[in-house]
Amino acid sequence: MRKLPLVALSVALSLQIRPCSPQDSNWNLTGWHLVWSDEFNGPALDSSNWKAQIGDGSPQNPGWGNRESEYYTDSPDNLRIVKDGALSVLRLTARAQRHGSEYYTSARITTQGKRSFQFGRLEARIRLPQGKGLWPAFWMLGDSFSSKGWPSCGEIDILEMQGGSDAAILGTIHWGGPDRRHESSIPGVCRLQSGVFADGYHLFGVEWDDKAVSWYMDGTQYASEPVTQADRAAFRSGKFFVLLNLAVGGDFVAYQIPPMGFTDASMDVDWVRWYQKD
């Protein structure tokens, strides 16, 4: 999620999207078992799994390190469980709403200090928002974030989308090189052949072990990146926790903000599931 400015996305791989079941992963889960999930079926966010992060990152980390333009809250205006037809989903909503010096509010949640795991398959079923200036993300940070800081802790971005390029998503890893210098790799981009990700729910996930991180969309792998190099030890040595957020503006979207007339946009999460090998 945290990164240097990114050039315009190029298509590394194009996938034909297949219909998916509303409640089931379409990975082949033979040889795997579920170790944790949140189906977002309760009346409110489960505090045993998640905590909402509040603020704009200031003054120590303005814009959450990305020059984002929102103030994150735990207000129901920005973060709540809602009914979407037969589904119960977690809705993260970005709004044109003044809060202090920021002109937008949104939501960011984390399992830090509550749920973290080393290796496995992590997947979520999400319907993404649409529009310039929006930056939805589903990602992980190493538990050593609190002791070593970023980027030394390691970061795995399972899903990010540049609002305005609403049919393309990508995965990234970040780590600390020599002298804690920020290093990153984007091994692939996945683009829908028709429509945009706001049209419906899709499955976004990674499979991660001590050799590689591989990215999946709707159960099909579209990218993989090795983590066996000496300077990528963060991905082999510890547990990682999960984050979900919907940013407005920031480096990744070239500092764009939503156009005039924007009122709100939402990222809906049906479930999050973590599997490990039997």
Catalytic residues: 155, 160
Residue of 97, 57, 59, 60 whose CA lies nearest to 75: 97
Q: How far apart are the C-alpha atoms of 126 and 110, rounded to whole Å?
A: 16
Nearest of 200, 214, 215, 269 to residue 20 by alpha carbon = 200
Contact call for residues 237 and 66 (beta carbons, < 8 A): no
Distance CA 111, CA 42 (A): 17
CA atoms within 13 A on the CB side of 251: 12
CB 193 within 8 A of CB 18: no
Q: Which amino acid is at 36?
A: W
CB 116 within 8 A of CB 241: yes
Mention every residue, 6+ apart, whose C-beta is less than 8 A from residue 216.
27, 123, 203, 204, 205, 206, 207, 222
Q: E strands of the chain, at which residues? A: 13-15, 32-38, 51-52, 70-72, 79-84, 87-99, 102-106, 108-110, 116-117, 120-127, 134-142, 155-160, 168-176, 182-192, 202-208, 212-217, 220-226, 240-248, 264-277
DSSP state of 55: B
Tokens for 122, please give them: 């992590």
